[in-house]
Structure 1
């Protein structure tokens, strides 16, 4: 992880602790390089989970470190999820890290488990929201005092103004819900949404520091539903067909190696036609 507040408490006794790469964007490059190299030497492979709204300096530094180490044993995973969803996904990978999964399968599991998360927030304003489409009418209503909006960012964007009959499309399977409260006094998420989604358990945690930047406001309550049980996560991952990366030789699931980015032979994207090809086409 690149931020300490994204390292959620362990879900069970088998959950491995997170390693936090602190102050990655401000520390001297040599220190950061030494720390990451030590991690690779100790563990063999490193999976770095980072939010897409992490500071630009942090994201650039991650790519710089991987390039300098010239290592195919470092996977950079930046899922298109709100910060709380990223934190939940990282904890699920920490749960699975205690199982008999190879590094390629474990790193690939993140792209699979994303599909079982529902991430959203209750917002006091959508004037700066750009992760979910906002129409002009909703934008205008956000200026009205007391307006609140229920927003689902993943898996399918949804935005509705909060009212007595407000509903969001929830998961069709049993989940737990994690709630992170910002500067918005409301119990709608815990008192209305959680029962409507029939969540099997509910926990609260501090709001990630990157959440206001992702949602465009600090007046919010962020939530994420997830599968908490390790046996269920393990069954999901092991039920997917594995293949061996033809470049670096590790087992992976999916069509792209998360460590070296290689795709199976014959599945690489075809080259774009050049000027000569376009001139003779048709």
Structure 2
């Protein structure tokens, strides 16, 4: 992981922690290469998950390390989620890493699982929001004192102005837990309005990631992420997808692209997900 505050506490004693891949200004390249080499020696494979909003020099550092080591055992997985959503996804992959999945399946599961994370925020202004489509009308309303906006970045972008007559954000149709990170915005809307509307099974508080202010364009926010919390459901979801073998590096994968070498499946093998996968586990209660 590329930021320590994106490593959430484990949900059980079996979930491992994540290694921190330091930014260029925090660690010289030689030490970073040595750390990566040690991780490979200890674990065999490394899945480096990082947000699409990472600084270019930090992303170049990751590619440089892999290039210098000439290793095909390092997967660089970029995800387009807000900071709290990235943190949730990192923890889910940590949970899956103790299962009987191969490294290639765990790495490529990131794309699948990101579609089941409803990541958004309550904002006092959308004037500087450039990650989610914002209409001119919403921009104008953001200058009205006291305005608040509920924004969903994924899986489908949504934006509504919070108020008595406002339409609710479209949420998941399966059981989730809601992770909430309160910034400088004093509001209980997420807990008192959004959570009941989405019928979440539990609410958990956490700290606001350091990069959230830059991602959302304001520090006056309450960031949230609804997600599948139970390992048994995550396991069933990933298991339901057809596994393929990469024709280039021979790694096992799910989906249409290898997470380790980025090679796409040949056209004849590039199939859509099986019917029902998008709602797999929706009506299942968490297992023991």
Match of 2:285 in 1: none
SS at match of 2:244: strand
Residue by residue, what CA displacement relative to the aligned partner does 1:97-151 show, whole Å, maximum 9, x if unpaired?
1111100011011111111111110001111001111111111111111111111
Shift in Å, 1:164: 1.5
The answer on whether the counterparts of 1:129 and 1:215 sit within 8 Å (CA) in structure 2 is yes
1:172 aligned partner? 173
- What's the offset of the Cα at 1:23? 3.7
Match of 2:241 in 1: 240
Provide closer, same or farther for how the CA distance between residues 173 and 265 of structure 1 changes in structure 2, counting only shifts above 3 A.
closer
CA–CA separation in structure 2 for the residues paired with 1:119 and 1:69: 35
Aligned partners of 1:173 and 1:86: how far apart in 2?
20
* RMSD, matched Cα: 1.5
- 1:75 is displaced (CA, Å) by 0.8
Q: Unaligned regions of 5+ residues in structure 1, if any?
A: 270-282
Q: What TM-score does the superposition give when structure 2 sets the normalisation length?
A: 0.90
Show the counterpart of 1:46: 46
Question: How far off its partner does 1:30 sit?
Answer: 0.5
Residues 16-35 of structure 1: pairs in structure 2 closer than 5 A: 16-35=16-35
Number of paired residues? Answer: 269
Residue in 2 that maps onto 1:109: 109
Name the counterpart of 1:181.
Answer: 182
Deviation at 1:199, TM superposition (A): 0.0
Cα deviation for residue 13 of structure 1 reads 2.1
3-state secondary structure, aligned to 1:75 = strand
User: 2:115 is paired with a residue of what secondary structure?
Assistant: helix
TM-score (norm 1): 0.92
Matched residue SS, 1:121: strand
Shift of 1:264: 2.9
Off by >4 Å, runs of 4+ in structure 1:
266-269
Using the alignment, how far apart are the partners of 2:187 and 2:174 within structure 1? 26
Partner of 1:11: 11
CA distance in 1, matches of 2:184, 2:54: 21
